[in-house]
Amino acid sequence: MFVRPVALVLLYALVACGDDDAPIEDAGVDAPIDAFVPEDVPPVMQPTFVDEHVYTRVLPPFETLDECRAASDESVECAQSLVFCPNGDFTLRLTAVVNAGGYALRPGNVVQALRRGEGDGPMRFSGTADDDAGTFTSETEELAGVWTRVMGAPACL
């Protein structure tokens, strides 16, 4: 007669507390590469490049700076730059406006970046860094194409 109520209470306690053997998932670590990232949450505490990576390119569709300058007025920025710093910050300059934000490095040297604040570049972009070739390749609309790595003066503070 007393067995049934005790068994029912025990079963209720197990259901209410959940399964302690269930794996714990970390959404930031376990999320796929193309997972949605809220606009107001930049990537933080993620792997980044060990050293700074500075990339440049000539304003598309031009092949050279001289070609761009000959076809454009003085207000057009013919050289564009992209800098990834070891602290997880990036700067992107497509025009005279400097875009800034944070990035995370995913397996395969895939970069996922999120701009903070105002700017004229994309709010989010991604691409793949190839250290052997010295390139960064992106398919994001405003960055699409191949950027060339530049070695030299430090660009990160």
In a domain, 61, yes or no: yes
Can you give the residue range of the structural domain that contains 113? 43-149
CA distance 29 to 8: 39
Residue 43, judged by CB atoms within 10 A of its CB (0-12, 13-18, 19+), counts as buried
pLDDT of residue 39: 57
In a domain, 108, yes or no: yes
In a domain, 2, yes or no: no
Tell me which residue of 85, 83, 81, 82 sits closest to 50, measured CA to CA: 85
In a domain, 131, yes or no: yes
- Number of domains within the chain: 1
The tens-digit pLDDT sequence of the chain (157 residues) is 444 444 433 333 333 444 444 443 333 434 444 445 455 555 445 799 999 999 999 999 999 999 999 999 888 999 999 999 999 999 999 999 999 999 999 999 999 999 999 999 999 999 999 999 999 999 999 999 999 999 987 889 7
In a domain, 71, yes or no: yes
pLDDT of residue 114: 97
CA distance 153 to 121: 24
In a domain, 13, yes or no: no
In a domain, 15, yes or no: no
